[in-house]
């Protein structure tokens, strides 16, 4: 599930505040002239009645349609009830759209009116979002206002992305999917938008959609560690390890000095148990950034995984020796015991090789104020395996073992 938190509002209003155009000038239709007077007096219903009469006589009266949009806008923002307000905004959009279709010369006037409505609607969304800090139901109210702002200007990515954030804060995460999609379609280029939407796709069983979106984002933000890591995780969750390996193999070939590509490829190779190759790429990542904490940690993990594999071999050989001992000669028993001893030495050597990168990772994690418990657990186990008891005891608390007697 998506981890919920309060997202900062992205307040990106169009520049400028545009006042409604004055109702000066003469009209050939007395009903339009009457509507202008009604608008000045804020008698919105009477103004709309006059305009409907004018439009019944001439449905192509662009001046009447333009004025109708302005009347509906003023009436909408004078109303508190959200559903009624939104319905009026949609009527406003329809009137303005028809006015421009009939008379394209009205485009600038109508656009200014629409900008004013957009700014006012967006502001209502911001105000409701802020109220949501004390009343979570207000997040849904905010989402609806942001969506309506997006209806006014469908190419406004800011309205849709804030609608999505409002739904996420309202814990209605599935409702955030469509507005995130609309934001991207409108040109939103923030990596967080891609990441959040991909996460929602995965949450609601649209794994392939999530991977496709992260692949696109990966190309757009090649140096964004969060995007790259989430794509890596998405591949792994989907069981597409081969695809991930091929992708990062190509990425490393294309940019051999990209530490993130080296790290991700090395980490994938660890999961594929191709340890020697993993070590090679993790060492390169560290050579490119000596303070790359995750690379140090994963390098230590490679050696521990190799040691565990050796330990499994020891267990198999030991079990087989016990089962076969009565049928073996002294020399055969000795040969098998020597093979086991060699593996035991190798196991200890590998745990010893894990210590240095893990110690470095611990220092880096703690220096950055990050949780180092997982590093300490791995380091504790490595110390124990190489008989460094005092060092193991010194990090027992960090590893969470101090109170467990381990």
Between 15 and 165, the more confident residue is: 165
Is residue 3 pLDDT above 70, yes or no? Answer: no
Nearest to 142 by CA among 161, 156, 155: 161
Q: Which residues contact 289 (CB under 8 A, 6 or more apart)?
A: 259, 295
The pLDDT of residue 271 is: 86
CB atoms within 10 A of CB 207: 17
Quote the pTM value.
0.68
**pLDDT (tens digit, 9 = 90+) per residue, 251-261?**
899 889 999 88
Q: Alpha helix (H) ranges present in 204-240?
A: 207-220, 225-237
Residue 56 buriedness (CB in 10 A; 0-12 / 13-18 / 19+): exposed
The pLDDT of residue 46 is: 97
Nearest to 131 by CA among 3, 2, 9: 9
Distance CA 264, CA 307 (A): 22
pLDDT confidence of 232, banded at 50, 70, 90? confident
**pLDDT (tens digit, 9 = 90+) per residue, 365-388?**
999 999 999 999 999 999 999 999
Is residue 106 pLDDT above 80, yes or no? Answer: yes
pLDDT confidence of 321, banded at 50, 70, 90? very high
The pLDDT of residue 403 is: 56
Is residue 227 pLDDT above 60, yes or no? Answer: yes
Q: What are the distances in angstroms from CA 132 to CA 162, 168, 170?
A: 13, 12, 8
Distance CA 40, CA 127 (A): 28
Distance CA 196, CA 208 (A): 15
Q: Decide: helix, strand or coil at residue 78.
A: coil
Q: What is the mean pLDDT of the chain?
A: 90
Is residue 108 pLDDT above 80, yes or no? Answer: yes
Among 5-19, 244-258, 335-349, which is the least confidently predicted range?
5-19
The pLDDT of residue 28 is: 67
Token readout for 300 is 């230590």
Among 21-25, 152-156, 196-200, 382-386, which is the least confidently predicted range?
21-25
Distance CA 104, CA 101 (A): 6
pLDDT confidence of 402, banded at 50, 70, 90? low
Q: Which residues contact 372 (CB under 8 A, 6 or more apart)?
A: 361, 362, 365, 366, 398
Q: What are the distances in angstroms from CA 366 to CA 280, 281, 382?
A: 26, 24, 19
């Amino acid at each position: 599930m998506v981890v919920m938190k309060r997202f900062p509002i992205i307040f990106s209003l169009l520049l400028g505040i545009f006042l409604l155009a004055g109702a000066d000038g003469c009209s050939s239709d007395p009903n339009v002239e009457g509507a202008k007077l009604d608008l000045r007096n804020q008698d919105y219903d009477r103004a709309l009645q006059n305009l409907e009469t004018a439009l019944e006589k001439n449905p192509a009266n662009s001046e009447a349609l333009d004025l109708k949009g302005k009347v509906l806008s003023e009436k909408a923002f004078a109303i508190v009830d959200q559903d009624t307000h939104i319905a009026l905004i949609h009527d406003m959009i329809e009137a303005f759209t028809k006015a421009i279709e009939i008379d394209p010369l009205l485009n600038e006037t109508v656009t200014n009116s629409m900008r004013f409505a957009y700014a006012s609607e967006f502001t209502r969304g911001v105000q409701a979002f802020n109220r949501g800090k004390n009343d979570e139901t207000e997040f849904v109210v905010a989402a609806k206002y942001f969506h309506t702002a997006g209806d006014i200007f469908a190419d406004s990515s800011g309205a849709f992305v804030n609608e999505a954030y409002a739904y996420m804060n309202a814990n209605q995460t599935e409702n955030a999917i469509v507005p995130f999609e609309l934001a991207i379609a409108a040109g939103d280029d923030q990596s967080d938008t891609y990441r959040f939407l991909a996460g929602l796709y995965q949450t609601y069983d649209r794994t392939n959609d999530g991977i496709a979106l992260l692949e696109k984002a990966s190309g757009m933000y090649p140096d964004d560690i969060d995007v790259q890591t989430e794509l890596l995780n998405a591949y792994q969750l989907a069981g597409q390890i081969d695809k991930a390996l091929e992708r990062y193999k190509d990425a490393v070939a294309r940019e051999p000095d990209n530490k993130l590509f080296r790290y991700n490829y090395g980490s994938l190779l660890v999961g594929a148990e191709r340890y020697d190759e993993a070590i090679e790429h993790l060492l390169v990542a560290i050579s490119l950034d000596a303070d790359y904490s995750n690379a140090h940690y994963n390098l230590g993990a490679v050696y521990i995984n190799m040691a565990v594999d050796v330990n499994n071999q020891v267990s198999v050989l030991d079990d087989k020796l016990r089962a076969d001992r009565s049928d073996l000669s002294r020399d055969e028993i000795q040969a098998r015991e020597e093979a086991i001893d060699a593996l035991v030495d190798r196991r200890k050597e590998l745990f010893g090789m894990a210590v240095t990168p893990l110690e470095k990772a611990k220092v880096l994690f703690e220096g950055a104020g990050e949780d180092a418990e997982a590093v300490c657990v791995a380091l504790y186990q490595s110390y124990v395996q190489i008989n460094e008891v005092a060092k193991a005891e010194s990090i027992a608390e960090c590893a969470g073992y101090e109170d467990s007697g381990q």
